């Protein structure tokens, strides 16, 4: 027998509504079941106002400005009491959207109680199928969650990475390709690569299109035309959808096809994947000693090893990014499928949108907190560079190739000669300079190569960070 299932208040089943609730709480206003019902009420109110404002149904009077104001206040004041009332109605209707219709009719009776206005109540949910209300509600909800919560948090994180890239633009660092020492770079340039990739995905997410439809049970305006044959229903539908700030979709089955959701979730998942790459790279740099976790690290790193400060922020972010992507991926794959004119798989699937956003938001928060606790350690990076003089073999053989192309004698087989010198063994500064001096290079080239160090062999890495700046 469970001692938790009937707890009051309820004990959260999932982590997002449990230990991580403070981080993801802003999403509740956009992607919770309560937010869905509030948005349904919003759509129903706006549809009622639209029908009466445009004299769509002959003989139905306009709502006064005060009546419209009171109806819109039903949305702005929608809270826990209204959630409970709707739940009670739904227990009778066993249908969530029908419950919203009955809820709004109650409110309309309070706003316009005169006997001659009773016909107004039949304009609530007029000619609509549930999906007319739901698809518009989800478009508005997701748009709000992206623009008001996710995008500002994600943008702040990317700005944090951009700032770090500029700060570390000149800090030389040994690169590692395939896990092996490779041509040096700078820490700032490597962070700039990740920041640029993340920014690209932010631009795609910011430019997302949110579609909506209102065309009846199978997308034909059948009931609309049967009820009011002289109305220009496509124009009425379009003006209403665009009034909500959405893009009108005229060609649908019973459902709006959700393709825009799949497109958006693919972009969000791609952002997550790039962020995952950042987390694993930074985790690796921490393990190599290139970053020290010192700021704001008053927490326990290990329950038994006092010296440890574990990179838990980045590990937590990785895990939540993987959960988020699993959800975004299944949403994208599933929502674009519907049997014939309608099935209800999308109804259950869309109730997971909040979780997908929540795990992404939690990862963004953890990654930001992790980055804020890091200090670069240039001395460790410098020691790694000084232990790997062989990485200058690339520079020497490339200079030899250029000299050979210009007719300088004795420059044959440059790659093979440097391979013999460097592959599979460490060389010192003295070894390399002795080799360079013995090549017979032109004086200027020999001097340039002899003066080069692993720390200075970073090419244009510092300047490349400047490409993060919009003016560049």
Shortest CA distance to 370 belongs to which of 313, 292, 302? 313
Q: H-helix or E-strand containing 172?
A: strand 172-177
Determine phi and psi for 212, rounding to 5 degrees.
-155, 155
Cis? peptide before 9, omega within 30° of 0: yes
Concatenating the DSSP letter of every residue in 30-92 gives HHSHHHHHHHHHHHHHHHHHHHHHTT-STTPPPPPHHHHHHHHHHHHT--HHHHHHHHHHHHH
- CA dihedral sign of residues 334, 41, 43, 96: positive
Question: Which tokens go with 147?
Answer: 């623009």
Q: CA-CA distances (angstroms) from residue 328 to 152, 357, 360, 419? A: 19, 8, 10, 47
Q: CA-CA distances (angstroms) from residue 53 to 48, 128, 215, 240? A: 9, 18, 19, 11
Question: Which tokens go with 441?
Answer: 């290079």
The answer to whether 166 touches 190, Cβ cutoff 8 Å, is no
Concatenating the DSSP letter of every residue in 372-410 gives HTEEE-HHHHHHHHHT-GGGGHHHHHHHHHHHHHTT-TT
Query: Is 62 assigned a catalytic role?
Result: no
The answer to whether 449 touches 414, Cβ cutoff 8 Å, is no
Q: Which of 239, 302, 347, 456 is catalytic?
A: 302
Q: Which of 178, 299, 303, 307 is catalytic?
A: 178
Query: Is 243 assigned a catalytic role?
Result: no
CA distance 58 to 96: 30
Determine phi and psi for 175, rounding to 5 degrees.
-80, 160
Q: At what angle do helices 429-437 and 414-422 cross, to 10 degrees?
A: 150
The answer to whether 363 touches 158, Cβ cutoff 8 Å, is no
Ramachandran category for residue 327: left, alpha or beta (phi over 0 → left; psi -120 to 50 → alpha): alpha
Show which residues are catalytic: 178, 302
């Amino acid at each position: 027998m469970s001692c938790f299932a009937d707890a009051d208040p309820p004990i959260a089943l999932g982590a997002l509504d449990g230990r991580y609730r403070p981080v993801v709480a802003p999403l509740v206003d956009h992607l919770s079941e309560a937010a869905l019902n509030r948005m349904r009420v919003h759509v129903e109110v706006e549809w009622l106002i639209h029908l009466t404002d445009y004299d769509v149904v002959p003989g139905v009077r306009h709502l006064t400005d005060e009546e419209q104001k009171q109806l819109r206040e039903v949305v702005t004041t929608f809270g826990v009491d209204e959630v409970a009332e709707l739940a009670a109605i739904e227990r009778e209707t066993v249908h969530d959207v029908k419950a919203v219709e009955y809820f709004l009719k109650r409110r309309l009776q309070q706003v316009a109680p005169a006997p001659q206005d009773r016909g107004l109540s039949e304009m609530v949910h007029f000619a609509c199928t549930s999906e007319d209300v739901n698809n518009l509600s989800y478009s508005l909800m997701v748009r709000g969650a992206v623009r008001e919560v996710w995008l500002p948090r994600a943008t702040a994180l990317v700005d944090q990475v951009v700032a770090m890239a500029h700060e570390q633009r000149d800090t030389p660092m040994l690169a590692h390709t395939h896990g092996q020492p490779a041509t040096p770079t700078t820490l700032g340039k490597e962070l700039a690569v990740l920041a640029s990739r993340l920014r690209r995905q932010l631009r795609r997410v910011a430019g997302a299109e949110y579609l909506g439809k209102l065309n009846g049970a199978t997308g034909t305006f059948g009931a609309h035309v049967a009820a009011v044959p002289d109305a220009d229903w496509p124009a009425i539908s379009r003006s209403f959808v665009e009034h909500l700030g959405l893009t009108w979709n005229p060609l649908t089955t019973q459902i709006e096809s959700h393709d825009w959701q799949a497109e958006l979730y693919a972009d969000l998942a791609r952002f997550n994947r790039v962020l995952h790459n950042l987390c694993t790279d930074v985790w690796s740099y921490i393990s190599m000693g290139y970053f020290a976790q010192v700021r704001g690290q008053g927490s326990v790193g290990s329950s038994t090893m006092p010296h440890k400060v574990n990179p838990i922020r980045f590990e937590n972010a990785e895990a939540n990014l993987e959960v988020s992507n699993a959800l975004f991926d299944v949403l994208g794959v599933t929502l674009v499928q519907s049997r014939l004119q309608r099935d209800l798989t999308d109804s259950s699937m869309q109730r997971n949108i909040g979780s997908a956003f929540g795990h992404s938001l939690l990862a963004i928060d953890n990654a930001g907190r992790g980055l804020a606790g890091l200090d670069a350690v240039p001395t460790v990076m410098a020691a790694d560079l000084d232990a790997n003089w062989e990485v200058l073999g690339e520079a020497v053989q490339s200079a030899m190739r250029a000299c050979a192309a210009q007719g300088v004698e004795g420059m044959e087989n440059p790659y093979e000669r440097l391979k013999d010198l460097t592959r599979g063994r460490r060389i010192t500064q003295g070894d390399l300079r002795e080799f360079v001096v013995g090549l017979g290079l032109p004086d200027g080239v020999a001097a340039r190569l002899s003066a080069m160090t692993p720390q200075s062999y970073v090419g244009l890495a510092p300047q490349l960070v400047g490409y993060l700046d919009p003016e560049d």
